[in-house]
Amino acid sequence: MTTMTEASVREFKMPDVGEGLTEAEILKWYVQVGDTVTDGQVVCEVETAKAAVELPIPYDGVVRELRFAEGTTVDVGTAIIAVDVSGGAAPEPAPAAPAVPAPAPAEDAEPQGRTPVLVGYGVAASSTKRRPRKGPEVAVAAAPAELNGHGPAAPAPAPVKERPLAKPPVRKLAKDLGVDLARVVPSGPDGIITREDVHAAVAPAETVVEAPVPAPAAVPAPAPAVAGYDSARETRVPVKGVRKATAQAMIGSAFTAPHVTEFVTVDVTRTMKLVEELKQDKEFQGLRVNPLLLIAKALLVAIKRNPEVNASWDEAAQEIVLKHYVNLGIAAATPRGLIVPNIKDAQDKTLPQLSAALGELVSTAREGKTSPAAMQGGTVTITNVGVFGVDTGTPILNPGESAILAVGAIKLQPWVHKGKVKPRQVTTLALSFDHRLVDGELGSKVLADVAAILEQPKRLISWA
């Protein structure tokens, strides 16, 4: 996604890296002004609401300008880097403040389409050092104090023209109210203009109409951004990236799909014995074998026996879409938050193939390298809350899916076995399903089948 400015300078814009995302945060620049770049070279790493992604430059040249500092959230379609493709000498970096000048507002820039060469990638939280967002400090210092109605004017040098930092909804509000953001004093963290700043900038103008003679200025008293916020004992974390996407997805799912959750407690002693036997099998040499593998296979067999559960609801067309494939999602906790990558066409995989796919999915998620494509198209999901030592939960559906199975901790408990109370390995399963698609009978059959397989794992053969 590029545009031409001068004859020899090309601008690379922030692309939409998947699922119609509207913004991304620049995590790290891999190049500096004056560096030579080649076609396909990765120039920066950005974080979207889904994953961290490396952006390659699509041409050769010399970096002339980096439009945004690390830690800045940039709208899709906004130019982030300028490259001189004429092959001339590298320009001398200007000894300017860290806050680099920004391009025209993102509202005026149209996305040019997706870049097909993007590669999903990420790093652990501890290995990526983010710098705080750089605000236009010079412009803020030079702006008159009375712009937001906070005090009398004070002589100051001419402001440096830089793009004010503000979220898209705040920019729209300013545009609707006719407020120039360059003349607004920001009160948000890191120099961000808030909605209150825009309204405060409008208030003085309205007051002038009613009372031409200004009253004596009051002593400025900075108001807290949020009432009752104790900065000494509380920390506020911006909602963005994976956490923002998760919140939006869960709200959408919880208030769209009518959830029903059913529970069953089951003796999985035989399944645990089978896990130990498979660890010694040559077919599984080098593969990770654990209870989750057999639970996943049990769910796939249950879906095969009850295919109507594998569906989605098309509200626009008023249709139920029956899926003849299973993209099995596995909820994974990562340093960036909860993500749900899925195994494509899991129903066709043998047990060793499923084991390999699970191992790759989990390791990729932990390393932060899960691509946006790996998190699209899921049909059903498993969430293993048992790894945290809890018995079970009432999971919320992943948007667009029909069911999610929660697996509790496997514990040694007293259990009646063959007429006698014996210590057995027991767990509790919880199945949440979309009641528009799945009625109580169907949901109960699926959960009962999963439990029956885990109690007698030989059913993996007889029912497959």
Measured between alpha carbons, how far is 384 from 406 in angstroms, rounded to an integer? 6
**Cα–Cα distances in angstroms (integers) from residue 209 to residues 44, 198, 289, 369, in the given order:** 50, 18, 75, 57
Residue 112: which of 66, 64, 79 has the closest Cα? 79
Q: Which residues, 6 or more positions from 226, have their beta carbon under 8 angstroms from its beta carbon?
A: 236
Measured between alpha carbons, how far is 394 from 397 in angstroms, rounded to an integer? 10
Q: Is 327 helix (H, G, I), strand (E, B) or coil?
A: coil
State both tokens at 55.
Answer: 């952006």
State both tokens at 23.
Answer: 């913004």
Phi/psi at 253 (5° precision): -70, -45
Tokens 């030079």, residue?
A: 142
Q: Which residues, 6 or more positions from 258, have their beta carbon under 8 angstroms from its beta carbon?
A: 434, 435, 436
Measure the CA dihedral 102/104/109/111, to 10°: -10
Question: What residues are annotated to the active site?
Answer: 435
> Residue 129 burial (CB < 10 Å; 0-12/13-18/19+)?
exposed
State both tokens at 177.
Answer: 């109210």
Asked if 242 and 339 touch (Cβ cutoff 8 Å), the reply is yes
State both tokens at 274.
Answer: 């089978």
> Residue 329 burial (CB < 10 Å; 0-12/13-18/19+)?
buried
How far apart are the two ends of the chain, measured CA to CA in Å? 48
Q: Are strands 311-314 and 319-322 parallel, antiparallel or unpaired?
A: antiparallel
Phi/psi at 321 (5° precision): -100, 110
**Per-residue H/E/C for 121-176:** CCCCHHHCCCCCCCCCHHHHHHCCHHHHCCCCCCCCCCCCCCCCEECHHHHHHHHH
Measured between alpha carbons, how far is 348 from 354 in angstroms, rounded to an integer? 9
C-beta neighbour count of 283 within 10 angstroms: 10
State both tokens at 376.
Answer: 């699209």
Residue 244: which of 412, 459, 22 has the closest Cα? 22
